[in-house]
A and B are shown apart, each in its own frame.
Chain A
Amino acid sequence: MSTAIKTTELSRSFKRHLAVDAVSMTVPERSVYGFLGRNGAGKTTTLKMLLGLIRPSCGTASICGVDVGRDRLGAARKVGALLEAHGFYGNLSGRENLDLTRRLIGPPQAETDRVLEVVEMTEHAARRVSDYSLGMRQRLGLARAMLGAPPVLILDEPTNGLDPDGIADMRRFLGDLPIRTGATVLLSSHLLGEIEQTATHVGILHQGRLVLEGELARLKAELIPEIAVETNDPARATKLAGAQGFSVAQSADRIVVSLKPGEDVRAASAALNCALVEAGIAVFAIGPRARTLEGIYREVSSLPPHQTVKQPELF
């Protein structure tokens, strides 16, 4: 799989504050890459550097192989962006707003109709943007980002301020984008649930550093596997699993056993099950625990910022 976006040791400091610290990220083509991090983690600063809006203190960024620092215009031709501030002119209609950008970047007039149709905004296109709801503005912003069918879309918090229905629509829309348009989507958010349901790949930014990156399904499957066990005696089961060398957490009705990275979940489950049954502890259920993005996020966010978990072989 080739690369749509690549950064190498990308850093940016504001006076003494290091906002982005040596971020090396790789976004594969036709992926939906969820760029996660809490507010102030450096996501927007990284996106602005990718768009050539601010210069990095050091490091490089490239879009579809074009170096943003050396050829900003060339890189900008490959990207459509939806930024947190939409920048629409309230005195103009939705169509007029799109048309301004279309004129500046050059595609034919029919392109405005096409993108309006894609985001299902054709019937509202003649209304002034000042009368639009936030959800409609988000969709119009998405339409504007898609003008000229750029191979890369950079979307900064696209579900911000949307109601649950709007979020579900946006999620469905973004998930389908690579298949429908062949575009790569870099999606920043601090909403773990949204990214989990939309992204194929994730990168987690913590205190300006990229602390985890990889294909979401593989990360969930491979990163520190866990086994959940429901027994009639969680206290004894905890002791027994601990004696077997497992790291165990106990809750009211179950224990959660953390394995070592790379350890075979099936073999460990079988061994643990055997040990529990032999000790006379009834096992109601045992199996690998589905890993959530939130769990992964909590884990890597608690790592010291200089430690990074990465899956370079994925790309």
Chain B
Amino acid sequence: MFTVLSVEARKLNRSLAALLAIAAPSLIAVFVFFNMMRGKAPAPWDMWMGSASAIWAFFMLPMSVTALTALVAHMEHGPKSWDHLRALPVPRWKLYAAKAACVLAVVAAMSLMVLAMVWVAVSGAAAIRPELVPTGTFDLTSYARTLAMMFLSALLLIALQLWTALRFASFVPALALGIGGTFFAVVATSAKQGVFLPWQMPVNMMATEVWRVNAALGLGGGLGLVALTAMVVHLSRRAVL
């Protein structure tokens, strides 16, 4: 399994997926940097890190997952390499499981990059304008914990997006699903039912009501693992004509 995983990771070399993995967290950091630069009074670390995490969970995570899964799947759909891969003496479930593991690893790395890049952006802005040095402490454990919970609650969203992207050779179904899901997550943010919408589960990690956090984390993480397993079983058994 390690070999198949390393092969998947090597495919990302110089790919658009790798570029996206860096671009999405960078955009949040750039936004935070300029937002801080136009400020008049210092704000606490919690505010900067909280707003960056919220932007990530609310919009950038679902959209990045949509684009990332479509790009990763298109690496095989584009050059029609499924036939070659599926004809190799390698159990097919390993090919799909490695793909899923690779996407999860990239999303986890993007979450870490959000944390690191926003710290760099805030520190950079504070260096340029010392009067805006953030107040309070930089509670790394708390920020990392929130981002980790967002990642876990996003498992269902990742599974659904990856499943659709791998199943259909065209970009359209996966993009339509991702854009549609994110759209409803954005326009119905305050709806109670939003906690059951996979695209809105990560942002629920910032909810003040405990039941929302627990429900989104349990459903997103638990059903996400079930969906990833079902995806691997379905795709490896399916005949690609």
Chain A interface (Cβ within 8 Å of chain B)? 14, 48, 51-55, 73-74, 76-77, 79, 81, 83, 85-92, 96, 99-101, 103-105, 144
Contacts and interface: CB of A to CB of B under 8 A. Distances in A.
Nearest to A14: B241
Interface residues of B, number: 27
Contacts of B86: 52-53
A92 B14 contact: yes
B75 interface: yes
A85 B80 contact: yes
Interface of B: 3-4, 6-7, 10-11, 13-15, 75-76, 79-91, 239-241
A174 to B, nearest CB: 19
A79 B11 contact: no
A81 B87 CA distance: 8
A81 B83 CA distance: 10
B87 A52 contact: yes
A88 B81 contact: yes
23 contacts: A14-B241, A48-B83, A52-B86, A53-B86, A53-B240, A55-B239, A76-B87, A77-B89, A81-B84, A85-B79, A86-B80, A86-B84, A87-B81, A87-B84, A88-B79, A89-B11, A89-B79, A91-B15, A92-B10, A92-B13, A100-B10, A103-B3, A104-B4
A85 B83 contact: yes
Contacts of A100: 7, 10-11
A73 B89 contact: yes
A74 B84 CA distance: 16
Contacts of B82: 87
A54 B4 CA distance: 22
User: Nearest 10 CB-CB pairs, A to B?
Assistant: A87-B81, A85-B80, A76-B89, A87-B84, A51-B87, A77-B89, A91-B14, A73-B89, A87-B79, A91-B15
Given A53-B86, A53-B87, A86-B81, 15 more contacts: A77-B89, A85-B79, A85-B80, A86-B84, A89-B79, A91-B13, A91-B15, A92-B10, A103-B6, A104-B4, A104-B7, A104-B90, A105-B88, A105-B89, A144-B84
B239 A103 contact: no
Contacts of A52: 86-87
Contact of B85 (A14, A87, A96): A87
Q: B4, B76, B86: which has the most chain A beta carbons within 10 Å?
A: B86
A91 B78 CA distance: 12
B216 to A, nearest CB: 36
Contacts of B241: 14, 54
A74 B91 CA distance: 11
Nearest to A87: B81
Contacts of B80: 85-87
A86 B88 CA distance: 14
A90 B79 contact: yes
A293 to B, nearest CB: 28
A14 B239 CA distance: 12
Given A85-B80, A86-B79, A90-B79, A103 B7 contact: yes
Contacts of B7: 100, 103-104
A85 B78 CA distance: 10
Contacts of A48: 83
Contacts of A55: 239
B83 A53 contact: yes
Given A53-B239, A92-B14, A100-B10, A105 B83 contact: no
A11 to B, nearest CB: 15
Contacts of A92: 10-11, 13-14
B54 to A, nearest CB: 34
Contact of B3 (A76, A79, A83, A104): A104
